[in-house]
Amino acid sequence: MSDIDMIRAAAARLRGHARRTPLLSSPFLDQIAGRRVWVKPECLQHTGSFKYRGGYAAVSALEDRARARGVLAFSSGNHAQGVALAAAQHGVPSVIIMPSDAPEMKIANTRALGAEVVLYDRAGGTTREELGDAIQNERNLTLIRPYDEPEVIAGQGTTGLEIAEDAAEFGIERADVLVCCGGGGLTSGIALALEADAPGLTARPCEPEGFDDAARSLATGTIQRNARTSGGLCDAIITPQPGDITFPIMQRLCGPGLVVSDEEVLRAMALAWGRLKLVVEPGGAVALAAALFHTGQSGGGDVIAVISGGNVDAGIFQRSLTSYGTLD
Q: Specify the amino acid at residue 194.
A: L
Residue from the set 92, 203, 218, 276 that interacts with its own copies by CB under 8 A: 276
Looking at the Cβ atoms of 228 and 277, the one nearer to its own copies is 277
Residue from the set 18, 32, 37, 44 that interacts with its own copies by CB under 8 A: 44
DSSP 169-234: HTT--SEEEEEE-SSSHHHHHHHHHHHHH-TTEEEEEEEETT--HHHHHHHHSS----S-SSS-TT
Surface-to-core class of residue 171, CB atoms within 10 Å of its CB (0-12 exposed, 13-18 middle, 19+ buried) = exposed
Using CB under 8 A as the binding rule, whether residue 15 contacts its own copies is answered as no
Q: How far apart are CA 35 and CA 291, in angstroms?
A: 9
Q: Which stretch binds its own copies (CB under 8 A): 90-98, 222-230, 296-304, 313-321?
A: 313-321
Q: How far apart are CA 157 and CA 143, in angstroms?
A: 20
Q: What angle do CA 270, 234, 104 make, to 5 degrees?
A: 95
Using CB under 8 A as the binding rule, whether residue 168 contacts its own copies is answered as no
Main-chain dihedrals φ then ψ at residue 257, nearest 5 degrees:
-75, 155
Q: Which stretch binds its own copies (CB under 8 A): 144-152, 156-164, 242-250, 316-324?
A: 316-324
- Tell me how many residues contact its own copies (CB under 8 A): 34
Q: Which stretch binds its own copies (CB under 8 A): 71-79, 134-142, 236-244, 314-322?
A: 314-322
Using CB under 8 A as the binding rule, whether residue 77 contacts its own copies is answered as no
Nearest to 40 by CA among 151, 187, 183, 213: 187
Helix (H, G, I), strand (E, B) or coil at 115: coil
Looking at the Cβ atoms of 22 and 199, the one nearer to its own copies is 22
Using CB under 8 A as the binding rule, whether residue 278 contacts its own copies is answered as yes
Using CB under 8 A as the binding rule, whether residue 48 contacts its own copies is answered as yes
**Residues 173 to 202: which contact its own copies by CB under 8 A?**
none
Q: Please give the residue ranges that form the binding site for its own copies (CB under 8 A).
A: 19-22, 24, 27-28, 31, 41, 43-44, 48, 105, 109, 112-113, 270, 273-274, 276-280, 310, 313-314, 317-318, 321-322, 325-327
